[in-house]
Amino acid sequence: MRIDVLTIFPEMFPTFLETSIVGLAHQKSKLLTNVIDIRKFSQDKHKKVDDYPYGGGGGMVMSPQPLADALKDCDCQQADEVIYFTPQGKPLLQADLHELKKKQRVVLVCGHYKDIDQRIRDKYITKEFSVGDYVLSGGELPAMVLIDGVARLLDGVLGNIDSALSDSFEDGILGVPSYTRPEEFEGMKVPSVLLGGNHAKIDKWRKDKALEITKKNREDLLK
């Protein structure tokens, strides 16, 4: 899978792309990423990429020219999806990551300032995602969230894919508590059911705990 990232802060990505599961996905040739500096495509002599919004109001807007030229240069028409991160977008869900992992090529557009020019969104963007009901300074962190979420689902990246498939949201509810050695720590013991080797009882305990935690923290998922 190939992911192109368009950003005005390319220096944010190298360490992230070389680290942990994302780095492993690159090492195993399951993922190829290409980070593109939008500012290089600005025709302004100072490489400016923003301007004042028509109609007034606070904030600046990313200019369409550098973005359009960057998208054309990376041949975005050949991509399966061109994604823009915005609080106005659809919430990014685990089901979306599963769909995206099937794609051969995805382009991620990281906006900054107040927004990007709407005409870029109208002409080039195929999907818009939000990573939460809050506002960030730009799309770089959401892009990293998507890349990390997709990378761990790619075949052959994780040593045991069951680890990913038993995570929160995979079956529509939240995940369960996890324990490891030692059996007792600071006066707290591992639940005895996990030590007994009865897999039917363990499965039931985990299902009950998942429902309990989901009801407590995300009751909306149960609906």
Position 161 scores a pLDDT of 67
Position 172 scores a pLDDT of 85
Angle, alpha carbons 117-123-129 (nearest 5°): 70
pLDDT < 50: residue spans in the chain: none
Q: CB within 8 A of 54, min separation 6: which ones?
A: none
CA distances from 186 to 158, 182, 194, 196 (A): 32, 10, 19, 22
Position 223 scores a pLDDT of 85
Write the single-letter amino acid at 145.
V
- Rounded to the nearest 5°, which phi and psi values hold at 139? -90, 5
Contact call for residues 21 and 161 (beta carbons, < 8 A): no
Q: Parallel, antiparallel, or unpaired for β 50-51 and 61-62?
A: antiparallel
Position 162 scores a pLDDT of 67
Position 160 scores a pLDDT of 75
Position 163 scores a pLDDT of 64
Position 16 scores a pLDDT of 98
